Amino acid sequence: MTEANVRATGPIRLGGTAGTTLRPATGAAITGGLWAERRRVNREISIPGAWDRLHEAGNFHNLELAAGRASGEYVNELPFLDSDVYKWLEAVGWVLADPDLAPERAAGLRSQLDETEKLLRAAPQPDGYLDSHFQVRFPGERFVQLPWGHELYCAGHLVQAAVAVHRTTGDDGLLRIARRVADLVVESFGPEPGRVDGVCGHPEIETALVELYRETGEPSYLARARYFIDRRGHGLLGDARFGPQYWQDHQPIREAPSVEGHAVRQLYLLAGVADVHLEDGDPSLLDAATRLWTEMVATKVYLTGGIGAHHKDEAFGDPYELPNERSYCETCAAISSIMFCWRMLIITAEAKYADLLERTLYNGFLAGLSLDGQHYIYANPLQVREGHVTSGTDGDYARVPWFSCACCPPNVMRTLASLEHYVLLGGDRRAALHQYIPGRYTAEVGDAPVTLEVETDYPWSGAISIRVVSTPTHPWALAVRIPDWVGGASLIVDGVPAQTAPQEGWWVVDRQWSSGDQIELTLPMEPRFTRADPRLDVARGSVALEYGPLVYCFEAADNTEHRLDDVAVDVTAPLETAPADPALGMVTEIRATGRARTHRPDAWWPYRPVDEAYPEPDSPVRLTAVPYYTWGNRGVGAMRIWVPTT
């Protein structure tokens, strides 16, 4: 590992020997637009507020118990409450590097971090073991409740938090605590006699240990991550209520033909698989990751990028089993998909990974957080019926301040807090701009830093200005991603239309660059109707509305003329854009037209012989769609993404 190449301050600090095509940016700042506002709310409201939520919910109390500083019972039946603290700590770690963090806020977060670190120094057992659930509820038991215990899952999140804090601040206090836990994991598990030959019921330690290896250079962390991946899928976890695929123990990853079981577990594991490949180049791991990503994307991803079709086991369903109302689409699963996609993009430089990353980010992920930054939704439905609101069964669809199983909120926080790193990637002789977010980004091309400044109103407009701020003197290639939904992009470099054409999702301009060079990328952005494979039962005969990377939805709040379920949209009529309800922020709405079916409660029966057609809907109706990520922010009401056509 050469020092020159290990300056990334976000997730995944790659060593110079990594055999990847692309490498994370070494510096990044988001300066405006949709994401800057989400990040402002994140650092000013969500992250500071989580300190209170985590205290109210007992997470800190449990750690206080472990530290012998409090008395009482472990709060909550769930064994993984520590992990919520760690994910929040990771968010604090990333956000401390945010140049927009005001000094007084930084001081406040710093003090919360210090207090938490002090607690975490006091909590471990003498040999470094730290897990409040087992220390308090099952003292003496250690690494024996692997299926449901979440010990390594919690350890993984502690490691990730420590890496984040160390990477952004250089402070190694948390890292020392985390390393003792990681060292214990390394020493306790393994194929060697006298060790536990097992894996955790919830993957997470894999990707965390690789990050710890990146941060410390200690190869045993990488080796143990690899061990956990190799040993999973051999039935070590025993029977599961939902089958061994629930915890990814049904098949070794290299043999699995399809994504199965609990979606977050599957994709955290795949992120770890990609991470190990990133470091050791094992082609069989890349084969597995590619195969499973491809299978997933072909038949098991919602239009929103969301994944997980079953509520009961939070799991992938059958191919094309993507119910709308009962879409699970856990917010954490969207995050896991973003993590996995980003790693695959780094490994392969293939634009399709950035396409899904973007779609998931703007839709399946962002919908999980309310606009006020103080409410969350766990499962993200693609459709809500009026009656679920009025019948008191709206619990599943209401945004709430916190959950008893609060995995999602701090996961959102850590993702938003590190989002600036998901924009630009460097490479041996290229810089790849794969997301369009206003800001200033630096990546290394070869050994030399390239800094780009991006100005755009994306996703509301497809006009993207890129300025070369600093560049090495040797030629290099700028690759800008042309999203898969774009037709007819144009690229102008210093006033001259690019002579090349986009290929496989990238528009590459390879030349000698100078500071001040200006690139104008235009991604024609018109509202568009999208249809689904006829095997998607709930989308048959229907269309969805998209605009740029955004999936739109129809909410009752904007569509009061008729019940949403009585409406059909006319796909041949023109679509218009306009500013949306200001309650949603600076957002573009889309206006469509269609027809509504008059509700006829005196009709005898809603079924008829196949040769008797139903009349076309009769009542003209104007329809308004808003970005899916804004749904449910004006109270709970009916909502649809897929709407039948006239």
Q: What residues are annotated to the active site?
A: 314, 407
Minimum distance from residue 265 beta carbon to its own copies (Å): 13
Q: Based on the shown chain and the rule CB under 8 A, indicate whether residue 3 belongs to the binding site for its own copies.
A: no
Q: What is the dihedral of CA 456, 588, 551, 453, to 10 degrees?
A: 10
Number of Cβ within 10 Å of residue 596's Cβ equals 21
Q: Give buried/exposed letters for 346-360 (b at 16+ CB in 10 A, else e).
A: bbbbbbbbbbbbbbb
- Choose the binding region for its own copies from 155-163, 299-307, 328-336, 463-471 (rule: CB under 8 A): 299-307
Judged by CB under 8 A, the stretch of 28-36, 142-150, 237-245, 444-452 that binds its own copies is 237-245
Show contacts with its own copies in window 370-399 (CB under 8 A).
Answer: 383, 385-388, 390-393, 396
Q: Smallest gap, in angstroms, from Cβ of residue 379 to its own copies? A: 13
Which residue type is seen at 68? G
Q: Which residues contact 90 (CB under 8 A, 6 or more apart)?
A: 157, 160, 161, 164, 165, 410, 414, 417
* Cα–Cα distance, 552 to 591 (Å, whole number): 11
504 binds its own copies (CB under 8 A): no
Point out which span in 88-96, 129-137, 213-221, 529-537 binds its own copies (CB under 8 A).
Answer: 529-537
User: How would DSSP label each residue in 14-43?
Assistant: --TT---SEEE-SEEEE-SHHHHHHHHHII
Among 33, 549, 594, 644, binds its own copies (CB under 8 A): 644
The yes or no reply on residue 524 touching its own copies (CB under 8 A) is no
Question: Binding of its own copies at residue 312 (CB under 8 A)?
Answer: yes
Q: How far is the CB of 629 from its own copies (least distance, A)?
A: 18
Question: Six-digit token pair at 57?
Answer: 């919910």
- Residues 334 and 363: their CA atoms lie apart, in Å, by 9
Contacting range for its own copies; rule: CB under 8 A; set: 114-122, 193-201, 291-299, 408-416: 291-299
Say whether residue 265 binds its own copies (CB under 8 A): no
User: Interface with its own copies includes 243 (CB under 8 A)?
Assistant: yes
Q: Segment 316-355, which members bind its own copies (CB under 8 A)?
A: 316-321, 323-326, 352
Candidate residues 488, 499, 610, 618; the one interacting with its own copies per rule CB under 8 A: 610
Rg (CA), the chain: 25
Please give the Cα distance from 550 to 444 (Å, whole number): 30
Binding residues for its own copies, rule CB under 8 A, total 81
Three-state DSSP class for 467? Answer: strand
- Sequence-distant (≥ 6) Cβ neighbours of residue 608 within 8 angstroms: 614
> Which span (220-228, 338-346, 456-464, 564-572) binds its own copies, by CB under 8 A?
564-572
Least distance CB 485 / its own copies (angstroms): 8
Asked if 273 contacts 289 with a C-beta cutoff of 8 angstroms, the reply is: yes
| Chosen residue from 90, 151, 249, 313 binding its own copies by CB under 8 A | 313
> Binder to its own copies among 531, 577, 585, 591 (CB under 8 A)?
531
Span of 104-112, 171-179, 243-251, 475-483 interacting with its own copies by CB under 8 A: 243-251
**With binding defined as CB under 8 A, does residue 299 bind its own copies?**
yes
- Least separation in angstroms between CB 31 and its own copies: 32
Per CB under 8 A, does 614 bind its own copies? yes
Asked whether the beta carbons of 216 and 208 are under 8 A apart, the reply is no
568 — phi, psi (to 5°)? -130, 145
Interaction with its own copies in 470-499: which residues (CB under 8 A)?
Answer: 484
Work out which of 60, 189, 227, 246 binds its own copies, going by CB under 8 A.
Answer: 246
Residues of this chain, 571-600, that bind its own copies according to CB under 8 A: 571, 597, 599-600
Would you say 447 or 537 has its CB closer to its own copies? 537
Minimum CB distance to its own copies, residue 353 (Å) = 11
Query: Which residue number, 170 or 615, has a Cβ lying nearer to its own copies?
Result: 615
Site string for its own copies, 58-97 (x = CB under 8 A): ----------------------------------------
Q: Is the peptide bond before 459 cis (omega within 30 degrees of 0)?
A: yes
Instruction: Write down the least CB distance from residue 517 to its own copies, Å.
Output: 33
**Beta strands 506-511 and 476-481, pairing class:** antiparallel
The binder of its own copies chosen from 39, 133, 224, 310 (CB under 8 A): 310
Which residues are 456's β-sheet partners? 464
From 20-28, 57-65, 308-316, 415-423, span contacting its own copies (CB under 8 A): 308-316
Give residue for tokens 């800001």: 439
Nearest in space to 555 (alpha carbons), one of 475, 455, 474, 623? 623
Q: Which of 544, 550, 556, 639 binds its own copies (CB under 8 A)?
A: 544
C-beta of 44 vs 566, nearer to its own copies: 566
Site residues for its own copies, 133-192, by CB under 8 A, read none
Out of 534, 579, 620, 635, the only residue in the binding site for its own copies (CB under 8 A) is: 534
Q: Which residues pair with 385 in a beta bridge?
A: none
- How far apart are CB 641 and its own copies at their closest, in Å? 11
What is the bridge-based pairing of β-strands 476-481 and 430-433? parallel
Strands 588-596 and 619-627: antiparallel
Phi, psi dihedral angles at 432 (to 5 degrees): -115, 115
Distance separating alpha carbons of residues 268 and 271, to the nearest angstrom: 5
Spatial distance between the Cα atoms of 359 and 412, rounded to a whole number of angstroms: 16
Kindly report the number of other CB atoms within 10 A of residue 90's CB atom. 28
Cβ distance to its own copies smaller for residue 433 or 532: 532
Question: Residue 550 interacts with its own copies (CB under 8 A)?
Answer: no
Give all strands (DSSP E) within 391-447, no chain letters: 424-427, 430-433, 439-445
**Nearer Cβ to its own copies, position 523 or 536?**
536
**Choices 59-67, 219-227, 307-315, 465-473; region in contact with its own copies by CB under 8 A:** 307-315
CA dihedral 514, 520, 523, 527 (to 10 degrees): 140
